Amino acid sequence: MILKIRQTGDLVLRRPARALAPDEIVSAPVQDLIAAMMETMRDAPGVGLAAPQVGYGLQLAVIEDTADYIARLPPGQAAERRRTPVPLHVIINPELTIESSDKVQFFEGCLSVAGFTALVPRALAVRVDCLNELGQPVSLHAEGWYARILQHEIDHLNAHLYIDRMDPRSFMTLDGFNRYWRDVPTSAFLAAIEEGQMNG
């Protein structure tokens, strides 16, 4: 079942989600929600979807980054972003630990801020301790783009959107991004912004 993705302005996106008890996780309603979220994420399409984005204030998200998505990137971007395929999985009640103080900036989008993108600084490496869809504890170690996806989805569970963390100078429509900046390295975009401000 395809669920409606809530857009910024909907208060469910600005309320911290509650943790799920182990018996809730394996219940039919939550298992059905997980299946529907996976279907909705793939239909969108996206690489992650948190329960608040479909109207449920629960500490639950689904994640998948496919080789097909990555193959559509402009040349060199997968390597620049350290982006590799991530199999479909579920995170529940996640606890995020930053494993690298290094931060990198790349353009991010969000299914709940449809039609826009911006540069967002994120930690390069993280660990996430959580439960899976069976209520079993798992520990995930992630670098590069996968680390970014985890941080983005966990932000949703804590009532944050990428627009709270973005470089506001970079905020633009997806149409503008695809027209002017899609094939340009992030460093070149930042240099152009700095040059424009110095000459302004």
Strand ranges inside 10-52, DSSP E? 48-50
> Is 153 annotated in the active site?
yes
Distance in angstroms (rounded) separating the CA atoms of residues 75 and 135: 40
Nearest CA among 62, 51, 47, 41 for reference residue 16? 51
CB of 65 closer than 8 Å to CB of 146: yes
Q: Residue 89's beta-bridge partner residues?
A: 63
Distance in angstroms (rounded) separating the CA atoms of residues 61 and 49: 6
Distance in angstroms (rounded) separating the CA atoms of residues 101 and 114: 30
64, 108, 133, 153: the catalytic one is 153
| Active site positions, annotated | 153
